[in-house]
C-alpha cells in the first residue's frame, strides 16, 4: 500500500494576516519615525476631540431652526444651516422656483454617478451629456409657458458650481486633447498657435482672465454680440482648464514609444486612427495622477467666480450670513460649504484612484 505523507505541524505555514491590515500596520508603525508620528498625532487628536465633539454635537443647536435656538447654547449653531440651507445651496434664485436648481443638482450628480461605470463608456455617453447640459441650462433659464424666465444674474449656489465644473472640465478636456496634439504637430503654424495659447493662458492668473472676461470684454465687443456675465466666466474657466490639461496630456504623449506609432503606420492606420486607438488611451492612462490633481484644482477654482459677481456656493453662504436676525455663525456655514467641496473633490479622487488601479498604472 502506498504511504500517504501527512504534513507535520512544523510544515504547516501559519496563516498570513490580511493584506489590508498588514499594510495599515506597516504604514503606521513600520519604522520608528512612523511610530513616533502616529503616536504624536494620536495624542493631538485625543486632546482636541472632546472639545470639538462638545462644540459640534453636545452643546450645539439643531432644532427648532430659529434664531432663539442659537442664543441659548454655547456650541455650534447648526440651526442656521438648517434654516438657510436652501439659500446657501441655491443663492438668490426665486424661492418658488427653487425646485428647478434642485432638480438640476439631482440630474447632474446622478449622471456623474452613472458616468463613472466603465460599462457606460460608450459613444452614447457624450451625446447624453450634451443633451443633459442643454436641458439643464434651459431649465435654469426658463422662459417657456409654465417655467418663468430667470436671469443668469440670479443663478447661484451648488447648481452654478456644478455647471461651471462639468462644462469647464468636460469641454476643456476635449479641447486639451487637440491642443496637446497640435503642440506636437509638424506643421509650424499649428504648433506655434498652440504654444502661444497654452503659454499665454498659463502665464496669467485665473483671476486676471476672469476680470478680462467680466470687465474688459464688454469694452471691446458690441453689446449685441456679448454673452452675459455667467457665460463669460464659463468661457474663461474653459480656456484656463484646457491649457493646463493640455500640458498634462502632452506629458503622457511624450512617454509613448515612437515604435508604436511607426508600427501603426506600417499597418496602414491613419493619423487620427493611430491617436484614437493606440496613442491617446495609453497617454491618458499614464497621466491619471497628474490629471486628477489638475481637475481637482479646477473644481475648487470655480469658487473664484465670486470676484466677478457670480453667486457660487461661497457667495450664497455670505449672502445668507447677512441676515440680521441671526448671530452670523460663519464657522458653521463655511464648514457646510467646505463639506460640499470636499465631497466633490474626494469622490473624484477615489474614482481616479480606482481607474488608475484598473489600468495598473504605476504598480
What is the share, in percent, of the chain residues with pLDDT greater than 90? 24
Q: What is the pLDDT of residue 227?
A: 80
Of the listed ranges 132-136, 165-169, 303-307, the one predicted with least confidence: 303-307
DSSP string, 232-261: HHHHHHHHHHHHHHHHHHHHHHHTS-HHHH
Contact in structure between 213 and 235 (CB atoms under 8 Å): yes
Give the whole-angstrom CA distance, residue 233 versus residue 243: 16
pLDDT in tens, 247-304: 999 988 988 888 888 888 888 888 888 888 888 888 888 888 888 888 888 888 888 8
Domain range annotation of the chain: 83-359
Q: Is pLDDT at 19 greater than 70 in this prediction? A: no
Q: What is the pLDDT of residue 212?
A: 85
Of the listed ranges 19-28, 66-75, 89-98, 328-337, the one predicted with least confidence: 19-28
Average of pLDDT values for 306-325? Answer: 83
Q: Residue 321 CB: number of other CB atoms within 10 A?
A: 19
Q: What is the pLDDT of residue 178?
A: 93
To the nearest whole number, what is the mean pLDDT of the chain? 84
Q: What is the pLDDT of residue 64?
A: 83
Superfamily of segment(s) 83-359: MetI-like (1.10.3720.10)
Q: Enumerate residues 6+ apart whose C-beta is below 8 A from 265.
A: 274
pLDDT confidence band for 5 (50 / 70 / 90): low
Provide the terminal-to-terminal Cα distance of the chain, rounded to the nearest Å. Answer: 51
Q: Is the omega angle on the peptide bond into residue 194 within 30 degrees of 0, that is, cis?
A: no
pLDDT confidence band for 20 (50 / 70 / 90): low
DSSP string, 202-217: HTS-HHHHHHIIIIIH
Q: Is pLDDT at 63 greater than 90 in this prediction? A: no
Q: Enumerate residues 6+ apart whose C-beta is below 8 A from 250.
A: 180, 183, 184
Give the whole-angstrom CA distance, residue 289 versus residue 122: 23
Q: What is the pLDDT of residue 197?
A: 94
Q: Is pLDDT at 2 greater than 60 in this prediction? A: no
Cell match 456679448: residue?
Answer: 226
Q: Is pLDDT at 12 greater than 70 in this prediction? A: no
Q: Who has greater pLDDT, 204 or 14?
A: 204
Average of pLDDT values for 308-327? Answer: 83
pLDDT confidence band for 62 (50 / 70 / 90): confident
Q: 3-class DSSP state for residue 355?
A: helix
DSSP string, 132-195: HHHHHHHHHH--BTTB----GGG-BSHHHHHHHHHHHHHHHHHHHHHHHHHHT-S-HHHHHHHH
Q: What is the pLDDT of residue 225?
A: 77
pLDDT in tens, 97-149: 999 999 999 999 999 888 888 778 788 888 999 999 999 999 999 888 888 99
The pTM assigned to this predicted structure is: 0.81
pLDDT confidence band for 214 (50 / 70 / 90): confident
- Of the candidates 175, 166, 178, 173, the residue with the CA atom closest to the CA atom of residue 140: 166
pLDDT confidence band for 18 (50 / 70 / 90): low
Q: Who has greater pLDDT, 120 or 81?
A: 81
Amino acid at each position: 500500500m502506498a504511504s500517504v505523507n501527512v504534513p507535520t505541524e512544523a510544515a504547516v505555514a501559519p496563516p498570513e494576516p490580511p493584506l489590508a491590515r498588514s499594510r495599515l500596520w506597516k504604514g503606521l508603525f513600520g519604522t520608528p519615525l512612523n511610530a513616533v508620528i502616529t503616536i504624536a498625532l494620536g495624542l493631538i487628536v485625543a486632546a482636541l476631540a472632546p472639545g470639538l465633539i462638545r462644540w459640534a454635537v453636545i452643546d450645539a443647536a439643531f432644532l427648532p431652526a430659529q434664531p432663539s435656538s442659537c442664543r441659548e447654547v454655547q456650541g455650534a449653531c447648526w440651526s442656521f444651516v438648517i434654516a438657510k440651507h436652501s439659500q446657501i445651496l441655491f443663492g438668490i434664485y426665486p424661492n418658488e422656483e427653487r425646485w428647478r436648481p434642485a432638480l438640476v443638482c439631482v440630474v447632474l450628480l446622478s449622471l456623474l454617478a452613472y458616468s463613472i461605470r466603465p460599462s457606460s463608456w460608450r459613444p452614447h455617453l457624450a451625446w447624453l451629456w450634451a443633451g443633459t447640459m442643454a436641458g439643464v441650462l434651459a431649465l435654469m433659464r426658463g422662459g417657456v409657458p409654465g417655467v418663468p424666465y430667470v436671469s443668469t444674474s440670479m443663478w447661484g449656489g451648488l447648481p452654478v458650481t456644478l455647471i461651471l465644473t462639468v462644462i469647464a472640465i468636460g469641454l476643456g478636456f476635449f479641447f486639451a486633447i487637440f491642443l496637446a496634439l497640435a503642440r506636437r504637430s509638424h506643421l509650424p503654424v499649428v504648433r506655434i498657435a498652440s504654444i502661444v495659447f497654452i503659454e499665454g493662458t498659463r502665464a496669467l492668473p485665473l483671476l486676471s482672465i476672469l476680470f478680462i472676461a467680466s470687465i474688459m470684454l464688454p469694452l471691446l465687443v458690441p453689446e449685441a454680440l456679448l454673452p452675459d456675465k455667467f457665460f463669460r466666466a464659463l468661457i474663461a474657466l474653459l480656456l484656463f482648464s484646457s491649457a493646463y490639461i493640455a500640458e498634462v496630456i502632452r506629458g503622457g504623449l511624450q512617454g509613448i514609444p515612437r515604435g508604436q506609432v511607426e508600427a501603426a503606420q506600417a499597418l496602414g492606420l491613419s493619423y487620427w486612427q493611430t491617436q484614437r486607438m493606440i496613442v491617446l488611451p495609453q497617454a491618458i492612462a499614464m497621466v491619471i495622477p497628474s490629471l486628477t490633481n489638475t481637475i481637482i484644482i479646477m473644481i475648487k477654482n470655480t469658487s473664484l467666480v465670486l470676484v466677478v459677481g457670480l453667486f457660487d456656493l461661497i457667495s450664497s453662504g455670505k449672502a445668507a450670513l447677512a441676515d440680521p436676525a441671526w448671530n452670523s455663525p460663519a464657522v458653521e456655514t463655511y464648514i457646510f460649504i467646505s463639506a460640499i467641496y470636499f465631497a466633490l473633490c474626494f469622490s473624484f479622487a477615489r474614482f481616479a484612484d480606482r481607474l488608475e488601479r484598473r489600468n495598473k498604472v504605476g504598480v
